[in-house]
């Protein structure tokens, strides 16, 4: 996690450097406190915070809560994309998660920091203080994407009231099983792909989405895109992986061909690539032990796709 730690006084800076030793990350302070290992806040605080709010996984402010709130307030978007924002008083007595407690991991990080500093973590989220499982935190811990975050409030409210809740954990597009269903999409699918050189990225995206729709699954459950190594620099594939926030994994022809199993063989593909099948072999190899093929090779205009499902681990 990319962590940014900022302090505003000499005492606070000493604590910030201590936190950086524990968490890693970069320490920032005003020009007057510049010293070895410390970066300068080189813009008005809110502008500076905006830059790192977009880049950091966590921001730790050593100082008053008000400073942190005013610095990040203009940049707050939503609980699924905001980084963890934590405040530590400069005496190191209290560690306070102020933003993205569950999805961003601020609550858990605050507990870790409090243990390290022998401080008190001040957790205020209702599910935590009532010792109940927060569904969005569960989703993060189990590597699930949240499809409809607007339902989190409804589900969490029902949990707090001791009512039954409707949560569906599946990669498949099926009818909603509950009147209000929170959809959690486990990251278990690998899309295998092959394509002609220079295929249009927009056409690749449309074809891949159509293929996934035909497989009856959510694109939010993709964990990787996989292909042969001669496609590692193919723009359409790189753009697809980046836009979906997944890694692009490639394998050599020999690695693909060595994989045991029943695959849709093509002598033409072997002639050009050195292996008889790219998309099926790649998705199965990337998915790992225990994977199953969900949809075999499908041919689009200059593209091929296949889909595998890896094992869903209940605890990450």
- How far is CA 277 from its chain centroid? 30
**Any idea which of 8-17, 130-139, 160-169, 284-293 has the lowest mean pLDDT?**
130-139
Predicted pLDDT at 130: 46
**pLDDT value at residue 183:** 85
E strand segments, the chain: 3-7, 26-29, 39-40, 58-62, 84-88, 94-99, 120-121, 144-146, 167-169, 182-186, 189-195, 222-228, 248-251, 292-300, 303-309
Q: What value does the mean pLDDT of the chain take?
A: 86
**Over residues 158-173, mean pLDDT:** 73
pLDDT digits (tens, 9 = 90+) for 38-64: 888 888 898 988 888 888 888 999 998
Instruction: Give the residue from 192, 195, 202, 196 showing the smallest Cα distance to 239.
Output: 202
pTM, full prediction: 0.65
Q: What is the pLDDT of residues 125-159, one digit of tens each?
A: 645 444 545 666 667 777 888 888 777 766 666 55
Contacts 24+ apart (CB under 8 A), 126-135: 126/156, 126/160, 127/156, 127/159, 127/160, 128/101, 130/160, 132/159, 132/160, 133/159, 134/102, 135/159, 135/165, 135/167, 135/182, 135/184
Q: What is the pLDDT of residue 182?
A: 82
* pLDDT for the residue numbered 251: 97
- Would you say residue 246 has pLDDT above 50? yes
User: What structural domains does the chain harbor?
Assistant: 3-124 (3.40.50.11220), 141-186 (no CATH), 189-309 (3.30.420.180)
C-beta of residue 102 within 8 angstroms of C-beta of residue 125 = yes
pLDDT 10s digits, 89-124: 999 999 988 887 666 778 888 889 989 999 888 876
The residues, any chain, with a CB within 8 Å of residue 314's CB and separated by 6 or more, are 142
Enter the tokens of residue 134: 């927060």
């Amino acid at each position: 996690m990319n962590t940014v730690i900022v302090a505003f006084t000499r005492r606070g800076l000493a604590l910030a450097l201590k936190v950086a030793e524990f968490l890693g990350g970069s320490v920032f302070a005003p020009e007057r406190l510049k010293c070895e290992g410390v970066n300068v806040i080189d813009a008005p605080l809110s502008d500076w915070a905006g830059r790192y709010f977009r880049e950091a996984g966590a921001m730790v402010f050593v100082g008053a809560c008000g400073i942190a709130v005013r610095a990040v307030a203009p940049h707050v978007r939503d609980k699924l994309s905001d980084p963890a924002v934590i405040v530590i008083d400069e005496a190191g007595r209290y560690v306070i998660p102020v933003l993205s407690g569950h999805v961003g991991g601020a609550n858990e990080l605050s507990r870790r920091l409090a243990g390290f500093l022998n401080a008190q973590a001040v957790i205020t989220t209702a599910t935590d203080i009532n010792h109940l499982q927060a569904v969005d935190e569960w989703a993060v811990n189990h590597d699930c994407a949240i499809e409809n975050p607007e339902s989190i409030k409804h589900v969490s409210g029902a949990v707090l009231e001791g009512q039954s809740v409707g949560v569906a954990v599946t990669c498949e597009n099926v009818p909603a099983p509950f009147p209000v269903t929170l959809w959690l999409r486990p990251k278990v699918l690998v899309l295998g792909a092959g394509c002609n050189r220079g295929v249009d990225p927009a056409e690749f995206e449309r074809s891949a989405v159509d293929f996934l729709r035909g497989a009856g699954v959510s694109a939010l459950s993709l964990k990787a895109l996989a292909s042969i190594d001669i496609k590692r620099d193919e723009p359409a594939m790189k753009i697809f992986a980046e836009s979906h926030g997944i890694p692009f994994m490639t394998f050599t022809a020999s690695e693909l061909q060595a994989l045991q199993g029943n695959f849709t063989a093509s002598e033409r593909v072997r002639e050009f690539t050195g292996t008889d099948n790219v998309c099926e072999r790649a998705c199965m190899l990337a998915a790992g032990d225990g994977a199953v093929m969900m949809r075999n090779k499908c041919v689009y205009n200059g593209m091929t796709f296949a889909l595998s499902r890896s094992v869903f681990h209940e605890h990450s």
